[in-house]
Amino acid sequence: MPSSFAADEFKELVRSRTDIVNLIAESVTLQSQRGGREFVGLCPFHDDHNPSMRVYPDRQSYRCWSCNEGGDCFSFVMKRERFGFREALEMLAQRAQLELPAQYRAAVGEGGENKNRLYEFVAWAEQEFHDCLLRAPEGERARRYLRDRGISGPSIAKFRLGYHPNHWEWLLERARGKYTAQQLHAVRLVGEREGNRGFYDNFVDRVLFPIRDAQKRPVAFGGRILPDSPETNMGKYWNSPESTLFQKSRHLYGLDQARDAISKSDTAVVVEGYTDCIMAHQYGFSNFIGTLGTALNETHVTHLKRFARKVVLVFDGDEAGRMATERALPRFLAQEVDLRILMLPGGLDPADFLLEHGGEALQKLLENPVEAWDQKFRLTIDRYGMDSIDARHRVLEDMLGVLAQVPASSASGLAGKWQERESVILGQLAQRLRVTEEVARRRLTDMRAAAEQRGAPVVRVSADDAVSPQPSGPLFPARPSRDELAERELLEIIFTYPERLAEIRCEINPRDLTHPLLARLLDLCFDIADQQGSPSYERVTARLEDAALKSLAAQIDEHARQKRIAPELVTHTLGYFRRRREARPPATAPLAGSGGDDLSVDGSDLESKKKLLRAATELHRKRGSKTTPS
């Protein structure tokens, strides 16, 4: 495996090959200022009306002065796309036409195909299917079917819908001279006949719904057989078999189209069908997504958490919808998601409801979806009643049975606040059923123990599917202490004059810093100096994979540039830290290079040193008020 140094060099190479102005301009309208030395635009990470995002080409960084988001190209992609660092690195490397090092590279496909080639095969097929639907005579039946379903031409173009004619080797013939049958089979566009007797197309006589990944690349298809198809022995819906690119449990239909609306509203609305999702978008509901013919699983829920706190599941108001509600609930309970349920009246699916009643009627229903736990409670009362002790007991058992599917503690750490949520739920349940919370909790503990003993499945979330959490609060206090100001200034000096690090290192240790993130940045600067030389801002951000630290580094760098730090500030700042260390009581003072010296002082000496510290603090305050931008 390549060394960590080689990996860091690759990150720097990707960053240097990415023009951050062009990257951000793909989704944000930027205007040049100061002769092209900076660009300004509306920040996409909050409801920005006066452009507050600044992009700096010379530092290849950005910063929003309103919400304090900032960083480099990796930070922007991680925040914008809700990616982890590895996903962002892969996306930007591909964008820069750089091959990933072995430790970052995803598995190749069947036959040793490069993964990028696999995406190419699916994208080619998508275009062939789409062209057939729009222009080929064979596509007329499919065009008529979509018109009858109320799907418009703009929706067909937006979702890149397609059609495969009723011909078992149509795609194979169109691929001749471009791609082999084995290559098409690697992405499950074709199937292999028994006995190695060749291949056949997989989506015969179906309207096709491209399924895309988080980077908006087509990876698979959902196919709906035409109602008048002569192929009567085939299922109504059929998805691509799983492949290197496509795992059904990890994808949601329409997320590539809905992602921005979901992030802005902090709400994802989930329906069960392709046409339901498309019709919702057609009526202006841009935060709708669809499942792929399967129930939502834990991976889906973890993925949705990247984008939204609130999830509304829209089900048909029939028995199947009721059962879907009960299946979905345990998967969301432990994940700190606000899960709501909307049961459509009359047993209608969302597409038919919109066609019959219009968008305003659906909007009214979406304004008051029922909390999933309450919906489950109502359904359970409908089943057993509440008019007897036995009925209330059966309701209690049923509701606790749902809670018992969630482990008491999460090994992955993804349900860190579950115990608090569980206490709220148990308290409410006990009050409704007129039992004590102690009785309910004791029974829940017994049910969990019994389930574990018989090996019953519980809801668990793989840490592999988690994304590094985005900063949930300010990285640096709005009203910092004098010590925190000095500690930030120390990092500002290092970013501005990295050649002075050796002088700083002689007197200051990361353990001396009270702000934990600043201490981590200082420690990283020392580590870079040991391995690579000068700890410049570029090298620091190239090493960082944590979104919070990247954002903080960008803030520090921008603050330093605004202040125009002078070289003599090094002497003043080191003097402040020296006086601070001397003024601390010996029992608590961090010793930087003290070698175990006796630093005991008497009371009068300590008081005089405190006066010196107050004087130094006042000097820092006055200097900071003159240099901090308004």
Closest CA to 137 of 165, 167, 114: 165
**Where would I find the H helices in 245-371?**
255-265, 274-282, 298-305, 319-333, 350-357, 359-366
417: which DSSP letter? T
Helix, coil or strand: residue 303: helix
Sequence-ordered alpha helix ranges (H) in 108-244: 115-135, 140-148, 153-158, 170-175, 181-186
Q: Which residues of the chain form CATH 1.10.860?
A: 482-627
Give the chain's radius of gyration (CA, Å).
Answer: 30
Determine the topology of domain 110-246 in CATH. Answer: DNA primase DNAg catalytic core, N-terminal domain (3.90.980)
Look at residue 82 and give its three-state secondary structure.
Answer: coil
- The confidence score (pLDDT) of residue 184 equals 95
Residue with token string 């988080």:
214
Residues 6+ apart with CB under 8 A from 127: none
| Calpha distance 205→164 (Å, rounded) | 5
Average pLDDT for runs of 10 along the chain of length 630: 60 88 90 89 87 90 87 89 82 84 57 76 97 96 96 96 95 95 94 87 95 89 92 83 86 91 90 93 96 75 82 76 69 77 87 94 94 88 91 92 73 52 89 91 88 62 42 66 88 88 85 86 86 80 82 85 80 86 58 37 46 50 42
**pTM for the structure as a whole:** 0.65
Domain with CATH 3.90.980.10 in the chain: 110-246
Query: Quick check: 24 and 41 in contact, CB under 8 A?
Result: yes
Q: Are strands 310-316 and 267-271 parallel, antiparallel or unpaired?
A: parallel
Is CATH 3.40.1360.10 what the domain over 256-367 is classified as, yes or no?
A: yes
Helices 4-16, 85-95: axis angle to 10 degrees equals 50
- Measured between alpha carbons, how far is 427 from 431 in angstroms, rounded to an integer? 6
Tell me which of 3.10.28.10, 3.10.580.10, 3.90.580.10, 3.40.1350.10 is the CATH number of domain 4-95: 3.90.580.10
**Contact (Cβ atoms closer than 8 angstroms) between residue 57 and residue 21:** yes
CATH 3.40.1360.10 domain locations along the chain = 256-367
Contact 567, 501 (CB under 8 A): no
Give the residue from 88, 115, 62 showing the smallest Cα distance to 306.
88
CATH of segment(s) 482-627: 1.10.860
- For residues 124 and 118, what is the distance between their CA atoms, to the nearest angstrom? 10
- 513 dihedral zone (left: phi>0; alpha: psi -120 to 50; beta): beta
